Structure 1
Amino acid sequence: MGVNYFLHFLKWVEAPPPVGGADGPGWCAKHIKAIMNIGPAFLGVPKAVANILSAEGKDVAFIRAMAPGLFDLETFGFQTFQHVMRVFRTWDSVISLLPKGGETVWGDLNRSPEEENVCHSAKTQYLHSSSKESNGNDTDTRRSIQEKELAKYGRLVSFGKVASEIPSSQLSLIDPKEILYENPPISSTSCEELMTEYDGMSQESIKRVTENKAYTARTLIDLLRFVAPKTMQRAESHFSHGLADNLEDPKYSHYKYWSNPLETMLPDTLDMEIFWSYGVGIPTERSYVYKISPSDRCKSIPLQIDISADGSDNGCLSGGVYFVDGDESVPVVSAGFMCAKGWRGKTRFNPSGIATYIREYQHKPPASLLEGRGTESGAHVDILGNFALIEDVLRVAAGASGTELGGDRVYSGIMEMSEQINIQL
């Protein structure tokens, strides 16, 4: 998440007062040699959506699946999840990590950049990347992919497993704006003391939300405006999650765009280098299957991940969560796209052509408890103990260039994924 705020800093430090630091153009060129983004989530993370919708993620869903009574939203979750959700909705850190770039980046109802990275198990590597790494020829993998139904990751939230899999022509779809403007959420029998914004919503409004069976990165924003209006009102005054058509438009001088790499430009400097350092090879949550909570009692979160949604032809669905390659928290497409394509060479997002390098670390879990977190871990936090990462950081700090580090080191399918994203450069 820190990378988003540092990107904001790069704009702030050169911007004029009263919104900027007033150091003027050229500050970054003078003072910054290299930027090393560790575990970057430049384009957001889908789990931020789950945090706001139901205060859940894959970990909570997994525990509820293993021990149904422990984290059930109707027992333990009756009060605890209400408090967790109330806190989540006040954290700008969660809001800042909502997926950026809309359907162009994250996919629509029928396609997504990861669609050819089919996993054969929710707990193992992915056929596409493992085949390419082992023999350099992914022809057989692509053939096997064509024989399977590709996961529709662009449906970030689906109501029901069937809705997450069937062709879009068979989906029940409603424009979320109709729900937002034609169905006021206020309940006539709301709770005496409101814990979350859900408590003031009628059951009819909640059911109306689920009638639109699938939400993409574009329509999710309208869904969140409906179920968390106060949260989104604050969010959209400080952050933006879109994709700029024209970066020369004066509106992009507003600070709310500065943390979105798709709505701002890098500083004008030729000598700076930017590194993307992140782990790969760990199943990472990408999209969710939801359902209405069976309870209609007061202070009950009405939407929850459907932990019974399990298994699929492509093997990427487990406990209501679809997985892709990543570092356990950040999908590869969010971590690597800007380096692989958005900022690669001279683009409208990188007008001076700052050199960029991808440095991926293939995850290897510790062999024993004596290793602690592991010296070859690629997990989002544990990577800080990865010896190869530490070596890269020390060498850059000591003066090594990206070329001297060996240039790009790629294990995932980020290059292929980036080619699937049709974006104006």
Structure 2
Amino acid sequence: MGLWGSWSMMRALLQDKENWKRHIMLDKWTGLDPPGGIKLRAAQGFDAADFFITGYWIWNKILENLATIGYDPTNSFTAAYDWRLSYANLEVRDQYFTRLKMHVEMANSISGKKAVLISHSMGGQVLFYFFHWVAAKSGGNGGDDWVDKYVDSWINISGCMLGALKGLPAVLSGEMKDTAQLNAFAVYGLEKFLSKEERADIFRAMPGISSMLPMGGDAVWGNETWAPDDTPDQEVSYGKFLNFKNQNTSTGYRNLTVQESLGYLYNTTEDWYQNQVQTSYSHGIAHTKAEVDANEEDPAKWINPLETRLPLAPNLKIYCFYGIGKPTERSYYYRHSDNPLSKLNITIDTGLTQANIDHGVILGEGDGTVNLLSIGYMCNRGWKYHRYNPAGVKIKTFEMPHEPDRFSPRGGPNTGDHVDILGRQSLNDLILRVAAGRGEEIEENVVSNIGTYAERVKVFEEDEYLAEKRREEQEKEKGKEEGVRNKLERKAEEVLEKLEKVARDEL
């Protein structure tokens, strides 16, 4: 029976909610299977990846297009994972990364060619984690050259490399834009059947969801007065992530930045949740190469591209394909919860709609699910810093504006939506080019303001590296000067020799 992503899920949920919850939630302390012999696993194979439910395609269009150039289940495979698990527990329980490593090596052994890996959304984080795991002695023990040996390209579609901001209110209060913007009747029905408190409890008992808590802190997402993606006509900065219309500092309800919001989350949640998140993930920034190198030994850092590096694979090619131009959750207005029976202290202020605030949700730039800074920063700037990309991996970015067909429920061939983009015609064309070994033909296409926003992020190239580059440039210039001087000296000697010869001939 399918307990997620099928009509069976809805039937099980409606018939016996408590039983469904026992099966879908992991053990709160171990993050593994719940007690009682319950085992729920990710469906595998092409049939599991093509449609979410009947009629709602996911990978189907990409799989069909890949088939036109010769890809089928004999020379390609899907690597479905249980997104409820922390990344470390994917290996502990399912040996997921061991199996992925074996698949890639087997494909190389059969075809004699390197693999092209394709990820979408959270899958980008999973694959980034895998690159660290496969090289580490404590992981796959493949060595630093494994990726260069076995992987030709990584197609990173809509990768939430710095997390998804909507993940924080999901685990904080069981809410997000999708629930906040429901009409009053729908909200009443949802709360009666699956309350905010229950939703928050379910989300917290799925540590994989918390992998998408935002990374980079205030340096990336802004402070009380500023954010890198603020626009000139904006009244309130995005930097204040959790806002309270009526602040009361005596009770602790004050506007909070992303970094402060994470602290608030840990201070108001259970010990088991704090333990799961803080031992599995890290949300900071490594400002030096020494820090990055040290973090390669710490699996909790492996999902964070601001604390760890790309693989040492100079021949690897990364293609960042993502949508832009669809309003996306950026910050929120909260209020004190008025439900005396709820454990939740605060809830989204869904009654607040004014200016750019829609039912308590402030929208910014992105693909409708993941903010532009998360999908675009590393591809356009972060991975250009030496400490994050010491091998000089080549990266190309291709942005796709959201231009939906108003008569199509999925947006049509030019959608930039986070999920629907998988059916976009131009994305499928780009994937086919890379899969056919013609990725070098792709030209970069960056039409958003990500360049400007990324430049404002308070993450910089390391001073020591810049000083070393300056020394190298100076040595290079010095070498050029010495070369010119030596050349002039040789020329002068030649002229003197000729003059001496003329003088001797005259005598």
TM-score (norm 1): 0.75
Q: Spell out the pairing of 1:380-391 with structure 2 (5 A cutoff).
A: 380-391=418-429
Q: Does 1:357 align with 2:476?
A: no
Asked if residue 241 in structure 1 is aligned to residue 283 in structure 2, the reply is yes
Matches within 5 A, 1:31-46: 31-46=150-165
Alignment pair present for 1:405 and 2:447: no
Return the alpha-carbon distance in structure 2 between the equivalents of residues 411 and 387 of structure 1: 18
Q: Distance in 2 between matches of 1:100 and 1:390?
A: 30
Matched, 1:301 2:344: yes
Q: 1:71, CA displacement in angstroms?
A: 1.1
1:368-424 CA-to-partner distances (Å, cap 9, x unmatched) read 24x75411111111000001001100101111234x111x21121101100111212
Mapped contact 2:287–2:459 kept (Cα < 8 A): no
Q: Which letter does structure 2 place at the counterpart of 1:398?
A: A
Q: Tell whether 2:273 aligns with 1:231.
A: yes
Partner of 2:58: none
SS of the aligned residue for 1:92 comes to coil
Who is 2:141 aligned against? Answer: 22
Question: Where does residue 291 of structure 1 map in the other structure?
Answer: 335
Between the two proteins, what is the percent identity of the paired residues? 31
User: Secondary structure in 1 aligned to 2:327?
Assistant: strand
Give the letter aligned to residue 239 of structure 2: G
Q: Which moved more, 1:224-233 or 1:285-294?
A: 224-233
Say whether the 8 Å CA contact 1:78–1:300 is kept in structure 2.
no
* Residue number in structure 1 paired with 2:168: 49
Instruction: Summarize deviations over 1:51-78 as a string: whole Å, max 9, x none.
Output: 0111111111110xxx2243149x8258
Q: Which has the higher contact order (CA 8 A, sep 6+)?
A: 1
Mapped pair 1:415 → 2:451? yes
Equivalent residue in structure 2 for 1:222, among 263, 266, 283: 263
Asked if the contact 1:52–1:89 (Cα under 8 Å) also holds between the matched residues in 2, the reply is yes
Alpha-carbon shift at residue 217 of structure 1 (Å) = 1.7
Are 2:133 and 1:12 equivalent residues in the alignment?
yes
Match of 2:236 in 1: 151
Provide the rounded CA distance (Å) in 2 between the counterparts of 1:381 and 1:7: 20
**Contact 2:295/2:308 (<8 A) preserved:** no
The number of residue pairs the alignment matches comes to 337
Q: Partners in 2 of 1:244 and 1:85 — Cα distance?
A: 31
Residues 78 and 299, structure 1, Cα contact 8 Å, conserved in 2 = no
Q: Which runs of 5+ in 1 are unaligned?
A: 117-144, 164-171, 175-207
> Which one of 200, 203, 212 corresponds to residue 85 of structure 1?
200
Distance, in Å, in 1 between the alignment partners of 2:311 and 2:350 is 45
TM-fit CA distance, 1:349: 0.4
Whole-Å separation in 1 of the counterparts to 2:302 and 2:172 = 26
Cα distance in 2 for residues equivalent to 1:241 and 1:220:
12
Unaligned runs of 5+ in 2: 1-121, 462-507
The answer to whether the Cα contact below 8 Å between 1:268 and 1:351 also exists between their aligned partners in 2 is: yes
Larger helix fraction of residues? 2
Q: Which amino acid in structure 1 is aligned with residue 389 of structure 2?
A: N
> Aligned in 2, Cα 1:173/1:338: closer, same or farther, shift over 3 Å?
farther
Matched, 1:336 2:376: yes
Larger Rg: 2
The answer to whether structure 1 residue 111 and structure 2 residue 226 are counterparts is: yes
**Cα displacement (A) at 1:285:** 0.3
CA 1:173 to 1:424, structure 2 compared with 1: closer, same or farther past 3 Å? farther
Q: CA deviation at 1:102?
A: 0.5
CA distance in 1, matches of 2:406, 2:334: 36
Q: Structure 2 length normalisation: TM-score?
A: 0.63
Q: Is the 8 A contact 1:173 1:214 kept in 2?
A: no
* Counterpart residue type for residue 368 of structure 2: E
Moved over 4 A (4+): none
SS in structure 1 at match of 2:386: coil
Preserved CA contact (<8 Å) 2:132 2:296: no
Quick one: distance in 1 between partners of 2:417 and 2:369?
Answer: 8
1:123 maps to which residue?
A: none
CA contact (8 A) 1:48 1:97 kept: yes
Instruction: Mark the CA change 1:372 to 1:424 in structure 2 (over 3 Å): closer, same or farther.
Output: closer
- Matched AA of 1:113: P
Secondary structure of the structure 1 residue equivalent to 2:418: coil
Q: CA deviation at 1:93?
A: 2.4
Aligned equivalents of 1:415, 1:251: Cα separation in 2: 27
